[in-house]
Amino acid sequence: MHDSTTMLAERFTSERLVLRRPEPADATAIYERYAASEAVTRYLSWPRHRSIDDTRAFLAFADTAWAQWHAGPLLIEERETGLLVGSTGVAFQTPYRVDTGYVLAEDAWGQGYASEALAAVLAALAGTTVWRVEAFCHPEHAASTSVLEKAGFELDGRLRRHTVFPNLAPEPQDVFVYSRILW
């Protein structure tokens, strides 16, 4: 049932993963596992972290999002080992529409973690005010389009010269817009 709750749990699990709100103590692991990696951040809409201070700025951003919307970035960890494998989450655009995305450490690629984390986020949105989940993806990022399509997202279209992917080029690039309707 749809209700007026916009709160996302700060911690929840899937079969192999724990998804949880980031904490200041996570800065080094985030920086070292994925945020400073040129390969990992290639197709992302945020710049690769050049120092731990960039990661601390991300954590401050995450706290602000959680304070405003009771939702925001989530870290992805393996349930068995506690190893940080990446990040996902939601960003509210309105009380009924969120953006989502994901990033995984390079050694976590190809193991189904992105699909599992995205499915867990969608399940966690059940019973909230969210009707529409959107994801933006660089047209050349085939692995990401595959994850979105497996999760039931549909391609809404291509926005030309829409998004800067700072790790590719300084000018806006085309972007695919995917969506999944929950209700």
Rounded Cα distance, 72 and 56, in Å: 15
pTM value?
Answer: 0.95
pLDDT digits (tens, 9 = 90+) for 84-136: 999 999 999 999 999 999 999 999 999 999 999 999 999 999 889 999 999 99
Beta carbons of 106 and 39 less than 8 angstroms apart: yes
Rounded Cα distance, 36 and 44, in Å: 12
Rounded Cα distance, 55 and 48, in Å: 10
